[in-house]
Amino acid sequence: MAAGLFEGQYVWHPAADDRLLANVCVDVRAGRYRSAHEALVETRGDAGLRAHRSLVLASEAADSDLTERWLDEEPSPEAALLWARVAVLRAVRAADTRDERAEALERIALAACDRAAAANPADPTPWTARLAMARLHRLSDPAPRGLLTAPPGPWRLFAHILSLDPWHREAHHRFLACFFSRNGGSVNAAWDVAAFLGQRAPVDSPLRLLPLVALVESYNPTQLLADSIWEQPQWRSTALAIYQNWLPAAARYRFTPVLDLAYLAHALVMGKCEFEARAVFAATGPYASRMPWSAFGEPAEQLSRARRACGLPVPP
């Protein structure tokens, strides 16, 4: 990972410092898929990078017919994967906007995920894409032992993904989202699942951030002392442990994990740990993500406010 120095402006592009991916995004927007094929083939041995690149490319390709053309002209596991990603993105968008085509698009997406999984059975990404649609339904598999609230959910699908990759980052975040209040869950269930999943992960894993994600999701500015919760010993110690154990490991990533770094920086700033937050912002470089900042206001303003608290420069 080499985020680069902050030069006075935020870079919001999801490719961050994955230069190859950024260049492929330009090709995809121009209707060319050859470089996308090469970029995804390169990720066959790296599930995290494969998830990241396929998700970013799907966001670029969702409003065009590129994936359909690619699958028709040069079918491959990579073409099937990007088609599944695009189909799921379209289905979720349609469901969220109550589009009359939502059910049909969901059937197409499920078939696309099945095709991608069959093309590469060892790849957890098609199953993770399928998990993105789980929040559209109240799946009621019983929870395993160890959860106080024992919330039902898509546990079987999640377990299958873990059989392919036990620490798949995106899958854990997709799964946790199924228990958010806005998706029919509850604050207590989300905290319970986040703690359960985070505690079982290695100490240097980004999955240790899951409780901080649930904390942001449960933020309610109308509650008394809502902004002070991050100063409580439980949450401050959680953020500091992630800073000590995960941040050094993040330097070995093939791309800057901007979203995870943002959640950590946010928790440290809110917990009055500005010294540690400075190091996280330094690791992030100029790259920025909408979350978690958008949960508290306009994201650029909130990010600048946090950087100022650490004595760091912000855009003019």
Q: What is the pLDDT of residues 2-12, one digit of tens each?
A: 566 777 899 99
User: What is the pLDDT, as a whole number, of residue 134?
Assistant: 94
Res 3: pLDDT: 65
- 264 close to 256: Cβ distance less than 8 angstroms: no
Tell me the C-alpha to C-alpha distance, in Å, between residue 123 and each of 37, 130, 202.
Answer: 16, 13, 22
Q: Please state, in angstroms and rounded to a whole number, the distance separating the CA atoms of residues 159 and 134.
A: 14
Parts of the chain with a pLDDT under 70 = 1-4
The Cα 122–Cα 126 span in angstroms is 10
Q: What is the pLDDT of residues 229-266, one digit of tens each?
A: 999 999 999 999 999 999 999 988 989 999 999 999 99
- The phi-psi region of residue 4 (left if phi > 0; otherwise alpha if psi is between -120 and 50; otherwise beta) is left
pTM for the whole structure:
0.95
129 touches 173 (CB < 8 A) = no
- pLDDT digits 0-9 by tens, 43-73: 999 999 999 999 999 999 999 999 999 999 9
**CA-to-CA dists, residue 274 to 168, 199, 262, 270, angstroms:** 30, 25, 14, 9
3-class DSSP string for 166-177 = CCCHHHHHHHHH
